[in-house]
Structure 1
Amino acid sequence: DALPILPEKKRRSAVSIGSSDSSGSRASYSRLPSQYDNISEEEQQLQNPTHGFTPFAIVSPQQHGVPSMPPGFQEADPSELSRIPEKPPPLPEKKSRHILAYMQFVEDYSEPQPHVFYQTPQNEHIYEQRNKRFQEVYGFNDSFSSTDSSSQEFVPPPALPPKQRQLEPAESENAQEVNQDDSETMGGSETGKQDGDDRRAKALESADSGQCEEEVDELSLIEHEEIMSRLTLKQEGEDGPEVRGGSVDILIVHATETDRKDLVLYCEAFLTTYRTFIPPEDIIKKLHYRYETFCNCPDTFKKRVSKNTFFVLVRVVDELCLAELSDEILKVLMELVFRLVCSGELSLARVLRKNILDKAEQKRIVRVLALMKPLAARGVSARPGTLHDFHSHEIAEQLTLLDAELFYKIEIPEVLLWAKEQNEEKSPNLTQFTEHFNNMSYWVRSIIIQQEKAQDRERLLLKFIKIMKHLRKLNNFNSYLAILSALDSAPIRRLEWQKQTSEGLAEYCMLIDSSSSFRAYRAALAEVEPPCIPYLGLILQDLTFVHLGNPDFIDGKINFSKRWQQFNILDSMRRFQQVHYELKRNDEIVSFFNDFGDHLAEEALWELSLKIKPRNIQRRKTEREEKT
């Protein structure tokens, strides 16, 4: 008797039936790749030898025409199958081990006085000069050379082809009937009007779905008095900024009043901290909407409003982190460039396009350099040498040079984002900077404790104290504290040292004394003039304290007072990043450092320390048990 024919299998689309003989052997097919394919079939056979079946295979039918189920699926309960998630569970988030280890110096952090974070930055003129340079670089003075009636006498841009303007057939016929001058004059305004109508229609649709109509209207406000009336201002006698809070839209509108000199610091605080309450792509869209609202108005004041709005938009794009330069943001920006071209704003489109291309090229260069980075290793024929072969001031200069290369790469949003999420993957440059600090600290501990003779260890420790002295003159607090953390670590500190050496080291430790919320270090940092490399651990701790200790919203409005504190904390870091060191690289010393990769782990350091100065057996066992 012939076996009944199996019905056509419809569960899989790409089936490759193998050859089958009269004995009814199994015919397999190629299944689609799965997101759970992290174990090979060979490993599955070793782990489950009793099953002995190929996953998702077509099994020869039984005598009654019912295909047999593999053993692993025979007793499956439908209720259990419904509980199987469609997607695999997310991987556990990586802990910030490098940055948290870097911040060990400020473990005894205490709450500082409120006025510490509410002080007005003393470098307002620096921000004014920066805005002026920005306008010169991107040609804003040329793009908006005048706001009077003479600006209307400029030769209009040439008309774009109808296909690019996406005109309807009827509109194309009408456009051909009028003369060329009228077409050139009206083309940009018609397109801008149509775009503005589309945006307003979308805004009304969102309002019907629950968005407040007042929020939409706020993006169209231009009168300063009306804008201020919608902001929450500080009361008489209160500390902090003038603006205490407001809705997202009114804060954006207030930031576009860039021609008011009394709002320079507010605009900088807004541009520094806006990511804490609105994503970059959203603020770009809102600024574009506000620009389009007034760009085609004949009124001089409204044209100035559009100019200021576009200036803030370019500032937002210019200060995007490389990690934020996603495909979605690039798409939004290129659509904006296209709209500017279609409306005849060729100079503005050129400014924005140049800004976008510069950021994209910068991101590409960073990727290439990361792949081509040479290994900082000594040559085969190089003499190993010792630390005493180099002068202390030369070592301090090279430590500063290596620190500076990493410090200048850190982007301000990285630091602000870490305080909020503590995710090292979103702060790659900050993570690299702190990892360098940790490696340097363990490298110092290792080369000291690996010396067998006490006099050699003493000599090395004094050498590092001299290096710290030169680092202090160079205003390099980061390497200074990296060495200090090594000399003051438990495996080093417990050894026998000369009294004079111990007293000298204690004097250097006073800089990072935790009393009065690290008042000594804060005072020293406030007195220095750039160039300077600060210790970022205290900045990160301050930002974390402000983030956890202040609400994001007050009475349903953005708590801008919290953002002002964050801006103040980051002000010193921004100031130091603008002035660079003028030091020459010494490849011999840098090669000797070998990227500080030759260091021992914490356990190995303790073993050598206990070997040099043993403790009683009972305490030794207790410590080992604690580590286990």
Structure 2
Amino acid sequence: MSFINHSNIGRSAMGGSTGSGSSTPKKPLLGSFSSMSNLSATSGQSNSESIEDSYNIPPSEWVSRVMHNHPDVLELRERMRPITNQKSFSRNRMCSKTEASHVISDSVLLKLIMQYLHEEGLTSTLTKIQEESTFKFVKDEVEKEALPTLLKIGIKEANNWFGPLEEIDGDDPEVEAYHAYVSEQDTDVTDGSIESKNIWDDLNDESTVKLLKNSDNNNTIQAATLNKLIWWLTSNPNSPEVSEFRKIFFLTFPSFTTAETILTKLIQMYNSPTRDNSDMGLVIVFLNLWIEQQPQDFNDKLLSMLNNFIDNQMVKDGLTNWAKKLRTSIAKTENNNTKKKENQLTNPPEPKVPKNIFSSTLTFEDIDEEEIARQLCLIDFGMYESIKPTEFLIKGWVRPSYRSKAVNLLSLMKRFNDFTKWISHSLLIEQQNTKGKSKLLGKFLKIAEHLRTLNNFHSLMAIFGAINSTSVYRTKTIRKDLSKQQQETYADLEKLFHSDNNYKSYRLAYKDAGPPCIPFMGIHLRDLTYVDECTNDKIDGMINLNKRRTLYHVISNTRKYQSVPYNFLKVHQIQAFLTELRIDNDALEESFKSV
């Protein structure tokens, strides 16, 4: 929802008429911008100077000036944010940001600039840049509008990977319910005019699929309508390419349709005009694979549809054996959904607990650093293994309307924010003298050494992020007493999480880690955002399947360690220290200002 018509504001500020037949006056009319001129009038300038200032307001300042002079409009905008899904105006305008220069290399940035100069017809400047850079310009080498997208991906809030999550706690339950309802309605993003057609109507339409030669010189499907895609996946069960893409389809289909729509299309295919048994068999085979490979897709609504199809069509058609097989698969799905997964430990190491573990005087400093690292692994992995594939697809971390569908992912991100803030609070507030601060910093670095050995990149980055935050980093006195080993640990963390070459060091470490392992989610979510915003959802009106292939690989890489848990025993007293984080936000804010 937009409350401001920018074009009208521009004409009003410049004194132009909104009528098509009127000419623009040489001087702006006083009444047309009196509200804007109040800003400069208060500074003691003359009225004519105020008018001149208002006349020269750049377009980028129009909205902010209106918001400043009309707080009622600003208040209305802020109150409507839960419905419009807009960020706070102050957050958009005033947030501290830093450029992540690694996102765009010098050569790519140069290509983007040269492309812009070419499109604007600035040939002399383009020629000069080519001469000085010895870089040859190739027309349309980069996608149109690529620069704004790349810049958007490459900008992050300073020292805060998951900043927007701070607003989650204060959400109105009614607003959350509204968002959940809207997200249900908006899930199916396919073109209704095409996908509402019966699947048999698209069978011979060659315009509904796009093929592309791959490296083996064979045709591979690049884009298709939903009807043609389901037909291709169902009618070629033994094709290696189909078998591979079936996994991609099952994981990524929520990004372009719903499970109910897919089942409807399969039932349409089952009811072929010729009532061919081979078509029926293909559909049933695909359904059985779907149930076995993606049991989490079959909620109550989908199971009701499927059972109705089995009872009213398959049984009546005499396919009782297949009906029995599907029912067996459904029963296994229902059992898996109700059975709580319990990790079986195999000879776990004895916990390193202090003698006063049951005492009310137990402090954080009493607990062994390795045991703290172990308990952090148990806490973080419990959240990591619970994340469902669909939570990565719906971008719940940036889209408030989908928060209710990304609960586990958001919990892990909030845990990162809280733990990072707690570490900063411990270093800046709880310890009053420099010696105590240095000792505590050394303890966190020792914990980091164990976390690196255990491949817990999540808490490892939280510790590094807190230590490397502006407020802590500028307190140089607390680092002067660190041992040589602790200084080397900090240097290793800097290398591991350095942004050079798109976080190459971290990516190699994550690739070679082996299970059990917990990724640092910020970098992986950044990859997903890049893929989503830099690649079109559709090609010529059809579903872009190449984009889904890329999404599948990113999500699979992020989830690849979910199946192997840590083999440690839970120590309740230690986990209480690490989860019941007590933070004096006011005192922490003051310490940030004083640094």
Residue 232 of structure 1 aligns to a residue whose secondary structure is strand
CA distance in 2, matches of 1:479, 1:427: 20
Output aligned runs, 1:87-102, within 5 Å.
91-92=82-83
Letter aligned with residue 92 of structure 1: I
Please report how far the alpha carbon of residue 349 of structure 1 lies from its aligned counterpart in structure 2 after TM superposition.
3.8
Residue 517 of structure 1 aligns to a residue whose secondary structure is helix
Seen in structure 2, the aligned counterparts of structure 1 residues 510 and 242 have a Cα distance that, compared at 3 Å, is farther
Letter aligned with residue 478 of structure 2: W
Please report how far the alpha carbon of residue 507 of structure 1 lies from its aligned counterpart in structure 2 after TM superposition.
2.9
Pairing 1:551–2:530 present: no
Please report how far the alpha carbon of residue 90 of structure 1 lies from its aligned counterpart in structure 2 after TM superposition.
9.3
Q: Which residue of 2 aligns with 1:276?
A: 255
Pick aligned residue for 2:285 from 308, 331, 346: 308
Letter aligned with residue 461 of structure 2: L
Q: Which residue of 2 aligns with 1:199?
A: none
Please report how far the alpha carbon of residue 296 of structure 1 lies from its aligned counterpart in structure 2 after TM superposition.
7.1
Structure 1: runs of 5 or more not aligned: 1-87, 115-208, 367-378, 616-628
CA distance in 2, matches of 1:434, 1:463: 24
CA distance in 1, matches of 2:268, 2:360: 65
Please report how far the alpha carbon of residue 564 of structure 1 lies from its aligned counterpart in structure 2 after TM superposition.
0.9
Seen in structure 2, the aligned counterparts of structure 1 residues 349 and 305 have a Cα distance that, compared at 3 Å, is closer
Please report how far the alpha carbon of residue 533 of structure 1 lies from its aligned counterpart in structure 2 after TM superposition.
0.9
CA offset digits 1:529-561 (Å, max 9, x no partner): 122111111121111111111111112221111
Please report how far the alpha carbon of residue 306 of structure 1 lies from its aligned counterpart in structure 2 after TM superposition.
3.7
Letter aligned with residue 251 of structure 1: L
Pairing 1:514–2:503 present: no
Q: Which residue of 1 aligns with 2:310?
A: 337
Q: Could you tell me whether the CA contact under 8 Å between 1:246 and 1:560 is conserved in 2?
A: yes
Output aligned runs, 1:53-202, within 5 Å.
91-92=82-83, 110=103
Pairing 1:478–2:455 present: no
Q: Could you tell me whether the CA contact under 8 Å between 2:195 and 2:225 is conserved in 1?
A: no
CA distance in 1, matches of 2:536, 2:512: 32
Letter aligned with residue 583 of structure 2: H
- Output the aligned Cα RMSD: 4.1
Q: Could you tell me whether the CA contact under 8 Å between 1:245 and 1:554 is conserved in 2?
A: yes
Q: Could you tell me whether the CA contact under 8 Å between 1:418 and 1:426 is conserved in 2?
A: no
Seen in structure 2, the aligned counterparts of structure 1 residues 311 and 365 have a Cα distance that, compared at 3 Å, is closer
Residue 560 of structure 2 aligns to a residue whose secondary structure is helix
Pick aligned residue for 1:535 from 520, 526, 532: 520
Which of structures 1 and 2 has the bigger CA Rg?
1
Higher relative contact order structure (alpha carbons within 8 Å, sequence separation ≥ 6):
1
Scaled by the length of structure 1, what TM-score is found?
Answer: 0.56
Letter aligned with residue 580 of structure 1: P
CA offset digits 1:331-354 (Å, max 9, x no partner): 323322323344444454455445
Please report how far the alpha carbon of residue 230 of structure 1 lies from its aligned counterpart in structure 2 after TM superposition.
6.6
Please report how far the alpha carbon of residue 96 of structure 1 lies from its aligned counterpart in structure 2 after TM superposition.
9.5
Please report how far the alpha carbon of residue 584 of structure 1 lies from its aligned counterpart in structure 2 after TM superposition.
1.5
Pick aligned residue for 1:247 from 211, 219, 225: 225
Q: Which residue of 1 aligns with 2:478?
A: 497
Seen in structure 2, the aligned counterparts of structure 1 residues 271 and 211 have a Cα distance that, compared at 3 Å, is closer
Residue 245 of structure 1 aligns to a residue whose secondary structure is strand
Q: Which residue of 1 aligns with 2:439?
A: 459
Pairing 1:285–2:269 present: no
Q: Could you tell me whether the CA contact under 8 Å between 2:296 and 2:337 is conserved in 1?
A: no
Q: Which residue of 2 aligns with 1:186?
A: none
Q: Which residue of 1 aligns with 2:582?
A: 598
Please report how far the alpha carbon of residue 414 of structure 1 lies from its aligned counterpart in structure 2 after TM superposition.
0.8
307-316 vs 532-541, which moves further: 307-316
Residue 233 of structure 1 aligns to a residue whose secondary structure is strand
Letter aligned with residue 408 of structure 2: N
Q: Which residue of 2 aligns with 1:177?
A: none
Residue 92 of structure 1 aligns to a residue whose secondary structure is helix
Q: Could you tell me whether the CA contact under 8 Å between 1:96 and 1:424 is conserved in 2?
A: no
CA distance in 1, matches of 2:306, 2:214: 42
CA distance in 2, matches of 1:397, 1:596: 17
Please report how far the alpha carbon of residue 220 of structure 1 lies from its aligned counterpart in structure 2 after TM superposition.
6.5
Letter aligned with residue 597 of structure 1: L
Q: Which residue of 2 aligns with 1:388?
A: 365
Please report how far the alpha carbon of residue 597 of structure 1 lies from its aligned counterpart in structure 2 after TM superposition.
2.9
CA distance in 2, matches of 1:347, 1:361: 21
Pairing 1:319–2:296 present: yes
Residue 516 of structure 1 aligns to a residue whose secondary structure is helix
CA distance in 2, matches of 1:433, 1:493: 25
Q: Which residue of 1 aligns with 2:122?
A: none
Letter aligned with residue 221 of structure 2: V
% identity of equivalent residues = 24
Residue 558 of structure 1 aligns to a residue whose secondary structure is strand
CA distance in 2, matches of 1:525, 1:315: 30
Please report how far the alpha carbon of residue 508 of structure 1 lies from its aligned counterpart in structure 2 after TM superposition.
0.8
Please report how far the alpha carbon of residue 562 of structure 1 lies from its aligned counterpart in structure 2 after TM superposition.
0.8
CA distance in 2, matches of 1:270, 1:566: 11
Please report how far the alpha carbon of residue 582 of structure 1 lies from its aligned counterpart in structure 2 after TM superposition.
2.1
Residue 242 of structure 1 aligns to a residue whose secondary structure is strand
Residue 497 of structure 1 aligns to a residue whose secondary structure is helix
Please report how far the alpha carbon of residue 358 of structure 1 lies from its aligned counterpart in structure 2 after TM superposition.
6.0
Seen in structure 2, the aligned counterparts of structure 1 residues 239 and 488 have a Cα distance that, compared at 3 Å, is farther
